[in-house]
Amino acid sequence: MQTDKKIIITEVALRDGSHAIRHQYTVDQVAAVAGALDQAGVPYIEVSHGDGLGGSSLQYGLSKTNEMELIEAAVSAVDQAKIAVLLIPGIGTVRDLNEAAALGAKMARVATHVTEADVAPQHIARAKELGMETVGFLMMSHMASPEKLTEQAKLMEGYGADTVYIVDSAGALLPHETAERIRRLKNELSVNIGFHAHNNLSLAMANTLAAIQEGADRIDGSIRCLGAGAGNTQTEVLVAVLDRMGIQTGVDLYKMMDIAEDLVAPILEKPQEITKGSLVLGYAGVYSSFLLHAQRAAQQFGVDSRDILIELGKQKVVGGQEDMIFDVAADLAKQSANLVTK
């Protein structure tokens, strides 16, 4: 039993889960869920558009409610928990960060592609100036070697990040790959190390436990598995597993079960499960938020969404290139039409 070990959980359903419900969160939903999570002892709750601050757009998906209203509602609903926001440079701006901080957000998670940490210094620096806890969030971490990932993590550390996360945005990592990456960061960085999983290959929990075993102390979860693709590591399940392992989280398991069942389940448009679409995300190594975009493009152009996602994987398309989804779908439809005419 590891009774001396503690894991700090960040609940991401009110941000990552926004993808799964087409960014349709309401103020009442966010306030109710955030308040209940706070009562359950969850220390950090992330709130923003699925693609972070400033994400509401035709390209990424329009929000039902302005995200600043959602952040304000979450801040007002909690007593102990800190509200976190995600910012992807190029989508969100320093102005967005200033506004979120003024509303009471206490943590800024600055997210970049795994090889592009060098776009983050001004945003991390501004978050520090605002008194926010700062996190470097290295997305699509399966696309970089452990050596390259460590190099980029060191940049995030050098910019002032308090924590650096390995982010398995596609749910493509295997447990031994996760373990190797976390081990290198733990050995070579002095800041906290975090891990964010997706469940597209049904490996979110296995990867999360591998990360914890190698020394990760910050872990993301989404209650009821409410996240992009097949969701993230399911928070209430993670709390139960860690309790069985003797690892402390400070989170009330029964309350988390009740929140999942009574508050979050009714928000879901359909149960989170590994469908053929989300499975292909992990198999092809494609950004989890691409799923709904690919399904819409497939319907519009009369092609198979799996073919779109496989081709996006071959082209190594990353977050921020959502416009490529429709280009690929159009090309596939054209190729299919050419075959028919021949």
Same domain flag for 305 and 253: no
Which pLDDT does position 180 carry in this prediction? 98
In degrees and rounded to multiples of 5, residue 167 shows phi and psi of -120, 115
Active site residue 49: no
Q: What total number of domains does the chain contain?
A: 2
Inside any domain, residue 283: no
Same domain flag for 230 and 330: no
Band of pLDDT at residue 341, cut at 50, 70 and 90: low
Choose the catalytic residue: 19, 49, 123, 142: 19
* CA R_g for the chain: 19
Question: How far apart are alpha carbons 210 and 333 in whole angstroms?
Answer: 41
Question: What residue numbers bound the domain in which 297 lies?
Answer: 289-341
Would the pLDDT of 75 be above 80? yes
Same domain flag for 248 and 313: no
Helix (H, G, I), strand (E, B) or coil at 69: helix
Same domain flag for 217 and 335: no
**Mean of pLDDT values over 99-119:** 98
Is 196 a known ligand-binding residue?
yes
Q: DSSP string spanning 301-336?
A: HTS-HHHHHHHHHHTT--TT-THHHHHHHHHHHHHH
Inside any domain, residue 91: yes
Same domain flag for 249 and 298: no
Inside any domain, residue 320: yes
Chain segment 43-55, per-residue pLDDT in tens: 999 999 999 999 9
| CATH number of the domain bearing residue 239 | 3.20.20.70
Q: Provide the 10 A C-beta neighbour count for residue 278.
A: 24
Is 169 a known ligand-binding residue?
yes
Would the pLDDT of 38 be above 90? yes
Residue where one domain finishes, among candidates 208, 229, 264: 264
User: Tokens 């009471």 label which residue?
Assistant: 104
Distance set, CA 172 to CA 178, 238, 264, 266, 337 (Å)? 10, 19, 26, 29, 32
| CATH number of the domain bearing residue 298 | 1.10.8.60
Same domain flag for 242 and 303: no
Is 141 a known ligand-binding residue?
no
Same domain flag for 21 and 169: yes
**Mean of pLDDT values over 9-26:** 97
Is 198 a known ligand-binding residue?
yes
Band of pLDDT at residue 211, cut at 50, 70 and 90: very high
**Mean of pLDDT values over 30-39:** 98
Token output for 36 = 């209940």
Same domain flag for 251 and 167: yes
Would the pLDDT of 1 be above 60? no
User: Tokens 């960040």 label which residue?
Assistant: 10
Band of pLDDT at residue 340, cut at 50, 70 and 90: low
Which pLDDT does position 4 carry in this prediction? 77
Same domain flag for 161 and 81: yes
